[in-house]
Structure 1
Amino acid sequence: MSLTGVIPPVCTPLTPDYEVDTASLVRLVDHLLTGGVNALFVLGSSSEVAYLTDAQRRTVLDTVVGHVAGQVPVLAGVIDMTTPRVLQHARVAVEAGASGLVATAPFYTRTHPDEIRTHFRTIAERGGLPLYAYDLPIAVHTKLSAPMLLELAAEGALAGVKDSSGDDGGLREVILGREAPFSVLTGSEVTVDSALWMGADGVVPGLGNVDPHGYVELYRCAARGDWQAARTEQERLVRLFEIVKVGGGRMGGSSSGLGAFKAALHLRGIIDCPITALPQTPLNDDEVGQIGKHLATAGLL
């Protein structure tokens, strides 16, 4: 399954008592589909997957896959520490009707590259769906090297990669070295135009929850070779991405970033409650007000 275009990692709206808000989740999915996105990625970092119980993960999968009803592919994050746990999530994703799986390298345990290869090969063999690697060294403390990705791609173990490593040189090495069909997707919100210019197939932007139309327009400009228009739209989105910094140094990066996305979605009337999962620190009223100003500047309020 070759993926291209804009594939937002869907936020998970929560109720004030920290349950999945399925009504808001459906509105968010409709907002993304109306924005023209090409696929959806649930249960990733922007979905707060690390904070969700297994039951909540299943609720998200059933809600999104059921509502999308085949309009676009739905990728399911099966992110967990070790291969047996990932395979449990994969079985649930298959039962829910997901189109593909997304997995990181193992984490918490100290691993060797050969063990990481075994991890992906085992998921590919037993998972039952196309597998996409999620290169996220800031969270799992392992960088997936270009040679490893290209090797697994050539074997058919991987259908693609979401590169959130920030290593543009490594990204280019994968793009230049691939031979078999293999989707290369950037996870950066702020260098999408340059990644597409290098030959990347698409983007998985957390900020795409807030402004899917903007990323779709950027992708379309690049697809028709209008790089100046793509740059102009990218620079508007770079300025909008400043919302992730409003939490400053008083909270973790996830609290600030995910809180900003949810506050923006709440201000735009898409989700009912901007709360983030425990133990993340919530944004205060002043910070939410700053996000509102960024949205107004970007033409989104």
Structure 2
Amino acid sequence: MRLQFTGLGTALITPFTRSGALDEAAVTRLATRQVDAGVHFVVPCGTTGEAPTMTEAERTRVVELVAAAVDGRAMVLAGAGGYDTREVIRAVAQCEHAGAHGILSVAPYYNRPTQEGLFQHYKAIAESTALPIILYNVPGRTGCNIEPATVARLAGIPNIVGVKEASGSMTQIVDVCRRVPSDFLVLSGDDALGLPMMAIGGQGIISVVSNEVPSEMTQLVEAAERGDFAAARRWHQALVPLMQVNFVEANPIPVKAAMAAMGLCEEVYRLPMVPPSDAARQQVVAVLRELGLSAAVEARA
């Protein structure tokens, strides 16, 4: 077992029951499915996990369930972020108590801090815990970009060990890789850019598409890790349609629709997330059929 957050991590969806409650049994099944497929770490309570519409108690419970399900076979990188540093520190403590091995903390959103504010925010979080912290830069959602110079500065804090980069800018990602120490993790937060990022020095992917195809994504990432980029490219090209359709509407709407079509969870969202439009659903189902994932789809049609 790896004792670090390299390779493939799955940004796990959060299943709900038809009544809208947390589906604890399904959380356990989905987490177990991931580690059975060889995924190296599991990431509950992030964007894909609909964390913004979950209560504090629900988020803690999901981390507990995932930690119990993986049972030492994989690492648990729990999402804990927000725009109030004090609240994030409290959430981090709860994740640690629930069994997380590390924290993925999204940049503060809405209040748009300066680069100095970002540094002080993450410094305070890191000083509050012994857990390793991975920064999460996704400016398209947060309205706030963690600039490469700030990432490099934060890399000097001992338990800030990496960044999940989802800026969409390869120029920025190259700059980050150039500035940080060689043991500082640079992980892709974008499935479609994951292989290119690994080719220029990234150490892995925090993936949405591995919810649907954990074994295939594990093979892609492990091929890239051993330098077999021909095999990695074949997997990447095969999975690109699914990577793309997962974002035909806001994440996690399409991936949850796909998982439900495959019989892996109920298709239940919490407002303001709603089911996909008919057009988007047709695209999701078409890609599932194209990739040979249609047996469950046909059975449920």
If the length of structure 2 is used for normalisation, what is the TM-score? 0.91
Shift of 1:157: 4.6
Q: Does 1:225 align with 2:218?
A: no
Structure 1's consecutive aligned runs of 4 or more residues displaced over 4 angstroms after TM superposition are 284-287
Q: 1:180 & 1:288 partners in 2: Cα distance?
A: 42
Q: What's the counterpart of residue 289 of structure 2?
A: 296
2:79 to 73, 77, 80: 77
Measured in 2, the distance between the counterparts of 1:145 and 1:96 equals 32
2:128 to 126, 129, 134: 126
Secondary structure of 2:121 counterpart: helix
The offset of 1:269, in angstroms, is: 2.2
SS at match of 2:110: coil
Distance of 2:288 and 2:119 partners within structure 1: 42
Flag structure 1 segments of 5+ consecutive residues without an equivalent. Answer: 247-252
Separation in 1, partners of 2:213, 2:15 = 16
Q: Which shows bigger deviation, 48-57 or 257-266?
A: 257-266
Q: 3-state DSSP class of the match of 1:45?
A: coil
Q: Tell me what 2:257 maps to.
A: 263
Matches within 5 A, 1:123-272: 123-179=125-181, 181-244=183-246, 253-254=249-250, 257-271=251-265
Alignment of 1:36-51 (within 5 A): 36-51=38-53
Bigger mean CA deviation after superposition, 78-87 or 175-184: 175-184
Would the aligned equivalents of 2:81 and 2:105 in 1 still touch at CA under 8 Å? Answer: yes
Report Cα offsets for 1:82-107 as digits up to 9, x if no partner.
10010110111111011011112222
Report the TM-score, using the length of structure 1 for normalisation.
0.91
Deviation track 1:10-56 (CA, whole Å, cap 9, x = no partner) reads 10001122211111111111221122100011111101111111121
CA 1:137–1:285: 2 relative to 1, 3 Å? closer
Q: Aligned pair count?
A: 292
Rounded Cα–Cα distance in structure 2 between residues aligned with 1:150 and 1:239: 34
Deviation at 1:285, TM superposition (A): 6.0
Structure 1 residue 180, shift from structure 2 partner: 5.5
Alpha-carbon offset, residue 76 of structure 1: 0.9
Whether the 8 Å CA contact 1:102–1:131 is kept in 2: the answer is yes
Name the counterpart of 1:63: 65
Match of 1:3 in 2: 5
Cα distance per residue 1:56-101 (max 9 Å; x no partner): 1122111111222221110111111110010110111111011011
Determine if the alignment matches structure 1 residue 281 to structure 2 residue 298: no
SS of 1:8's partner is strand
Shift in alpha-carbon separation, 1:178–1:245, aligned structure 2, 3 A: closer
Q: Offset at 1:8?
A: 0.6
How far does residue 286 in structure 1 lie from its aligned partner after superposition?
Answer: 6.2
1:6 partner SS: strand
Work out whether residues 2 and 182 of structure 1, in 8 Å CA contact, stay in contact via their aligned partners in 2.
no
Q: CA RMSD in A?
A: 1.7
- Taking only the aligned residue pairs, the percentage that are identical comes to 28
Contact 2:7 2:40 in 1 (8 A): yes
Of residues 68, 73, 98, the one that matches 1:96 is 98
Q: Where in structure 2 are there 5+ consecutive unaligned residues?
A: 295-301
SS of residue paired to 2:11: coil
